[in-house]
Amino acid sequence: MSLEEKQKELSSLLDLPNNWNGYGDKEIDRMIVARAHQFLLMICDLELPNIFPLHDGGLFMTWGDDERLIVSFLPEKTLTSLTGGQRHIDSRVEIEWEENGEDKLLEFSTSDDFAHVNPIRQLIKRLDQ
């Protein structure tokens, strides 16, 4: 599938309404899709991912037949602690993969100006080896 086709597939996630899966799912966040579009442009010379919506308004991308690499674009949220304090979490990117039989996880704030792109590029290249 070409980059243009992947970009269209990604944009089509914005057409999903609230409750798109029948379980109270949220509409896909426009900012998340915009960041994912930018990300695809940064990796377009590599294998392009499969793209799926998430129930909380985010999305995830997978590489490899057995989904050995998963990159999730997750919406911002505010967490409330048991003591009533609140903490704001910026939208973020989580990278999950398996290495030497161990599950690995990296998390980046999307305010880090795509600091996550180089680690992901390296992981995609390793999948092809």
Length of the chain (residues): 129
- For residue 127, pLDDT beyond 80: no
Q: How far apart are the first and last CA of the chain?
A: 21
Average pLDDT, the chain: 81
Taking the model in full, what pTM does it have? Answer: 0.80
Return d(Cα 18, Cα 35) in angstroms, integer: 21
Confidence of residue 112 (pLDDT cuts 50, 70, 90): low
In the chain, what are the domain boundaries? 3-127
Confidence of residue 82 (pLDDT cuts 50, 70, 90): low
**Taking a C-beta distance cutoff of 8 angstroms, is the pair 46, 124 a contact?**
yes
